[in-house]
Chains A and B, each alone.
Chain A
Amino acid sequence: MSILIDENTRLLVQGITGSEGSFHSRKCMEYGTKVVAGVTPGKGGSLFEGVPVFNGLEQAVRETGANASMIFVPPAFAADAILEAADAGIPLVVCITDGIPTLDMVTVLGYLRGKTTRLIGPNCPGLISPGKCKVGLMPGDIHMPGNVGVVSRSGTLTYEAVAQLTEQNIGQSTCIGVGGDPLIGTNFVEILRLFEKDVETKLVVLIGEIGGTAEQEAADIIKEMTKPVIAFVAGGTAPPGRRMGHAGAIITGSSGTAQEKIATLSAAGATIASSPAEIGIVARRVLEGSA
């Protein structure tokens, strides 16, 4: 098992004919992901690498049975793309796009309330269930199938953590980047609950960063979890009031600091990796300790 995506995922790509969309769609197909449809308004009826392209989601879903969507639409049109996917009833929508206006996301999250669609992102690297399915930008070859779930607000720092796990010969069940924006569709809490229920996942690695209160909310769930959690929080050296690349990574008040988040996670029972270079080693120790 794994969470959210696996060998039964039938992926649709919104913006499949764009430069990023086409590049990453090919990479996902090479990894083994079943890409069943693409959507680019105005290019309906054409084929992309043998995959049918549609003008809109409703028809694409009806004709191909797509059950997940990956969005590579420019920021000005991305909110519309997410809304179209939700309207078409797609259960999982992964929005890669970086730079969506925050107020657009207020509208999107408002529409998604009470709907069955789960949104991952935006401004995220996507997710991968190693050996089964990849929906995102991550380099597939650093992953290996196994029992550790990884959830993170970052992109390349997630790759760093995954590579360290793989070097320790520790495989992963599913690795998810939830996104670096202040407003995201799925937060740590929901992913931790899914990992807790997943029989394959034995350990969870959580990678947080400064800003917001997502790590503190995660801590409340970690207290109730039966599975061990390892946490690293990036940005201990970041000054207050400055935006560190991610729009969400800005310290405004003491709850947003790395120190506060680490203290809360530690008090909830998470094992803290104090250095970003030790995530793999700490995972090894925790697995051996619990084995």
Chain B
Amino acid sequence: MKIHEYQAKEILAKYGVPVPRGGVASTPAEAKEIASQLGGAVVIKAQVYAGGRAKAGGIKTAQSPEEAERLASQIIGRQLVTHQTSPEGVPVEKVLVEEAVASKRELYLGIVIDSATGLSVIMASEAGGVDIEEVAAKTPEKILKAYIDPIIGFQPFLGRRLAFGMNLEPEQIRPVTQLIGDLYRAFEERDCSLAEVNPLVVATDGRLLALDAKLNLDDNALFRHRDYAELRDPGQEDELELEASKHNISYIKLDGEVGCMVNGAGLAMATMDIIKLMGAEPANFLDVGGGASEEMVTKAFIILLSDPKVKAALINIFGGILRCDIVARGVIEAAKQIEIKVPVVARMRGTNVEQGMQLLAESGLPIILAKDLKDAAEKVVAAKQK
């Protein structure tokens, strides 16, 4: 789960990570008010779930409260298109207004869980800033790593190793070590899948500040963080994806024309792949899940058909825990609730497949039945072209 920069900074500040002074604004007037309280130059930052904001015009500097108001009015309410968003972009509903900070140095700090070792790893670099991905790709030796042994957790020596490794001035070693420890504590206690401060700046006045911050929260840990529900900003998410997630359906909208409904993430990806191999593009990823009910199948099928780009749909079910007759009933119910305007191909195998296929055949719905995965993919791509 993603959260906004201003929310990440609020969380990090509670753990003692120093962040610039500032506030969040939903209107240009609020931006002006915050700017006048801060005094001096301010930075206006679009709050969206995507990186690459500066290059896309989502981050601007204002020299006065009036300019802050004017710039905020240009950013709030627009769709921001960055290299990480879809071509339509994401809406900007809020801006973060912060004191402008002149920096001497830009550092990088990031924490993730490394699947190869099964350990949390803190990464640090003295080459922080917007091009950190390039630094990692071209000069990996400039990214220092410290793995956390769960038996001892974070220890100061790890922070010191990273701080000295970044060639900091002597007076910065202690505060940076402290800051790394605070960031790690936030990462662990808040069940993050990513905690990143980029850049961490040494300001010209000597202050150490997290100029930008990103926290991704582990969806699996939501049960022990009841407050996470409030952090979620539905405005940043695709409407259909949001609707799907409310019903525990894993759905991701893509750009193609063949919609698919599958049980299991691996089979769902493989189904997308075979649609592509047959010469069409998948319109979505949709995993109804292992224990889906008839209602979930109905909902899932309606969601995938709600995408106006969909020209044909493929149902691919390998029944295990999920019974094929449940899927068939769910699809038939969906057809009662909405008009199905595109050709539908169904392929089912496994638990109760005979009942499922029979229900579909007798439903009177124009569903094309397929015998296996290849047959299904061929039929759905052919049906799309008609």
Contacts and interface: CB of A to CB of B under 8 A. Distances in A.
Nearest to B256: A237
Contacts of B264: 154-157, 245
A244 B273 CA distance: 13
A234 B269 contact: yes
A275 B321 contact: no
A101 B191 contact: yes
Contact of B118 (A23, A183, A210, A241): A183
Given A110-B150, A182-B115, A153 B221 contact: no
Contacts of B319: 139
A179 B290 CA distance: 14
Contacts of A276: 267, 270-271, 273-274, 373
A160 B120 contact: no
B218 A139 contact: no
A241 B220 CA distance: 18
B373 A106 contact: no
15 contacts: A103-B221, A105-B118, A125-B320, A137-B320, A139-B319, A154-B267, A155-B320, A157-B267, A160-B267, A209-B266, A237-B272, A247-B219, A276-B270, A276-B274, A277-B372
Contact of A237 (B188, B266, B269): B269
**A-B pairs, 4 with minimum CB distance:** A154-B266, A245-B265, A156-B264, A157-B266
B180 to A, nearest CB: 18
A159 B320 contact: yes
B220 A237 contact: no
Interface of A: 20, 23, 75-76, 98-103, 105-107, 109-110, 125, 137-139, 142, 152-160, 163, 180, 182-183, 207, 209-210, 212-214, 217, 232, 234-239, 241-242, 244-249, 258, 274-278
Given A110-B151, A213-B116, A160 B270 contact: yes
Contacts, number: 171
Contacts of B265: 154-155, 180, 209, 244-246, 249
Given A103-B218, A235-B273, A276-B273, A158 B193 contact: no
Contacts of B368: none
Contacts of A153: 266
B269 A249 contact: yes
B351 A275 contact: no
B203 interface: no
Nearest to B187: A103
A127 B37 CA distance: 63
A180 B266 contact: yes
Interface string B227-270: 00000000000000000000000101010000000111111111
B318 interface: yes
B138 interface: no
B154 interface: no
B294 interface: no
A20 B320 CA distance: 13
Given A103-B188, A160-B270, A244 B374 contact: no
A20 B291 contact: yes
B167 interface: no
Q: Helix, strand, loop or mixed for chain A's interface?
A: loop
Contacts of B282: 237
A75 B220 CA distance: 8
A277 B285 contact: no
Interface in B144-169: 149-151
Given A98-B290, A237-B275, A244-B265, 14 more contacts: A76-B223, A102-B113, A102-B193, A106-B113, A109-B118, A138-B320, A139-B319, A155-B290, A156-B266, A157-B267, A237-B281, A245-B264, A275-B274, A276-B273
- Most interface-central of A20, A75, A214, A236 (chain B CB within 10 A): A236
Nearest to B115: A182
Contact of A155 (B266, B273, B281): B266
Contacts of A209: 265-266, 269
A160 B318 contact: yes
A183 B113 contact: yes
B11 interface: no
- Most interface-central of A232, A235, A277 (chain B CB within 10 A): A277
Contacts of B291: 20
B118 A137 contact: no
B120 to A, nearest CB: 6
B132 interface: no
A16 B321 CA distance: 16
Contact of A247 (B84, B220, B287, B372): B220
B350 A159 contact: yes
A234 B266 contact: yes
Contacts of B361: none
A238 B285 contact: yes
Given A101-B221, A249-B265, A234 B270 contact: yes
A214 B265 CA distance: 17
B276 A236 contact: yes
Contacts of A105: 118
Interface in B21-65: none
